[in-house]
Amino acid sequence: MQDAAIQVLVGARLATLADPVDGPGAVVIAGERIAWVGPQAALPADYASAPRRDCEGRLVTPAFIDCHTHLVHGGHRAREFEMRLEGASYEEIARAGGGIVSTVAATRTASEDALLAQALPRLDALLAEGVSCVEVKSGYGLDVETELRMLRVARRLERERPVRVVTSFLGAHAIPAEYAGRADAYLDEICLPALHAAHAEGLVDAVDGFCEGIAFSADQMARVFAEAKRLGLPVKLHAEQLSHQGGTALAARCGALSADHVEYATEDDARAMAAAGTVAVLLPGAYYFIRETQAPPVAAFRAHGVKMAVATDANPGSSPLTSLLLAMNMACTLFRLTPEEALAGVTANAARALGLEDTGRIARGLRADLAIWDVETPAELAYRIGFNPLHARIFAGRS
Ligand SMILES: [Zn+2]
């Protein structure tokens, strides 16, 4: 610590998501870490001669964390969007080659370099809004080779940009056409072997799945989670988005990091999540884009003390969203989160949802991942639409 370069932020309005600091605050950054945080008036004398950066009253928050994205994928689904607006049915879109099948086809035929090139502008949009950490899932390959390729691209993002990437293996995302009606065979012949291969290559930080009538049942997901457990990998789940399938209860039983979407979760689910410490990841972009009408049970989550995160769910089919600021606004307008809850949802609770303990808050010893905003209060971050007040982003101590 002594040798690390020291810099001191002063004149900050601090939203630490940890111990509150009233009045002008200061943050001492030593190398990649936060060495001290508190009221500027109490800044230890040792740091008096260190280089200072005056925040001039700006709001300083932990850098944002997008804890649920499908950032790496081939192609887009703008034509499908158009067809739906023209009144086409789900079947008509599927017959025209639309739906997830089209993203799977576009992803399977794209090279690693092509997938990387397509993902980078989406990543850049997130970084421009103060994001320091992004979760990226596989799940559009649905064959061994492409699932691994997606995860390799996710890892490469970290080498291309100053960002931390956390990967999720999502082989249990959908049943590919060649396995139609044979979900269990798909799991045994493709999904689980792909998980083993990806894990052996060091590509998997967690295991995810889609528990839904149109995807995998809770029993099928339990098989995937058992395999994850054998490999020592944490789990998470897309659960109760379109109907109640028991995915949230399964997630809680397995000690999952998070249950995501959770629109149809019940009071009992909330109780089980709270007991298991499973974070509810709210994805208002998907709710908005596919015009869902059932909002997640936020009051039950609050009542039982379930931590709530907010993420973009950036994906080509149901949430082509690459703005966490807009996701915060939607979480407030559509799900009635308070701006403080929305901020916690993209910082401290998003870190929790990824099992990360060294980021997402401004506290001594944590990574110096910070965002400096041209606003004075967290409410200003959540209430504007389509406006980016980021002044500066600090990633592991570096601007
Ligand atoms: Zn998703």
Lowest mean pLDDT among 85-89, 113-117, 345-349: 85-89
Separation of CA 322 and ligand 1 centre (Å):
13
Q: Quick check: 134 and 162 in contact, CB under 8 A?
A: no
- Binding residue positions for N-formimidoyl-L-glutamate: 140, 315, 317
Separation of CA 390 and ligand 1 centre (Å):
26
pLDDT digits (tens, 9 = 90+) for 231-281: 999 999 999 999 999 999 999 999 999 999 999 999 999 999 999 999 999
Query: What local confidence, expressed as pLDDT, does residue 1 receive?
Result: 44
Q: pLDDT band at 225, cuts 50/70/90?
A: very high
Ordered DSSP codes for 260-276:
EE-TT--HHHHHHHHHH
Separation of CA 260 and ligand 1 centre (Å):
8
- Binding residue positions for 4-imidazolone-5-propanoate: 77, 140, 173, 241, 318
CA gap 260, 240 in Å, rounded: 8
Separation of CA 241 and ligand 1 centre (Å):
10
Percent of the chain with pLDDT over 90: 94
321 pLDDT above the threshold of 90: yes
CA gap 296, 301 in Å, rounded: 9
Query: What local confidence, expressed as pLDDT, does residue 280 receive?
Result: 98
Task: Dihedral sign for Cα 303, 309, 315, 321, please.
Answer: positive
223-254 per-residue burial string, b: 16 or more CB within 10 A, e: under 16: bbbebbeeeebbbbbbbbbbebbbbbbbbbeb
- Count of helix runs (H) and strand runs (E) in the chain: 16, 15
Q: pLDDT band at 63, cuts 50/70/90?
A: very high
CA gap 227, 336 in Å, rounded: 37
Residue 237 bridge partners (DSSP) = 259
Q: pLDDT band at 3, cuts 50/70/90?
A: low
Query: What's the chain's Rg over C-alpha atoms?
Result: 21
Separation of CA 70 and ligand 1 centre (Å):
6
Q: Average pLDDT in the 96-122 region?
A: 95
> Nearest 5°: phi and psi at 158?
-65, -25
CA 102, 107, 112: angle at the middle one, nearest 5?
Answer: 165
Here the tokens at position 334 are 């559509």
Percent of the chain with pLDDT over 70: 99
Residue 372 bridge partners (DSSP) = 60, 392
Ordered DSSP codes for 215-237:
SB-HHHHHHHHHHHHHTT--BEE
Separation of CA 239 and ligand 1 centre (Å):
10
Separation of CA 11 and ligand 1 centre (Å):
39
In whole angstroms, how far apart are CA 190 and each of 142, 144, 228? 7, 6, 15
Query: Average pLDDT over the chain, rounded to whole?
Result: 96
Separation of CA 151 and ligand 1 centre (Å):
15
Separation of CA 105 and ligand 1 centre (Å):
18
Element of type H or E holding 124: helix 112-127
Query: What local confidence, expressed as pLDDT, does residue 89 receive?
Result: 83
- Binding residue positions for Zn(2+): 68, 70, 238, 313
Flag whether the pTM goes above 0.85.
yes
Separation of CA 142 and ligand 1 centre (Å):
15
Separation of CA 116 and ligand 1 centre (Å):
19
Separation of CA 167 and ligand 1 centre (Å):
13
- The amino acid that residue 395 corresponds to is F
CA gap 372, 379 in Å, rounded: 15
- Binding residue positions: 68, 70, 77, 140, 173, 238, 241, 313, 315, 317-318
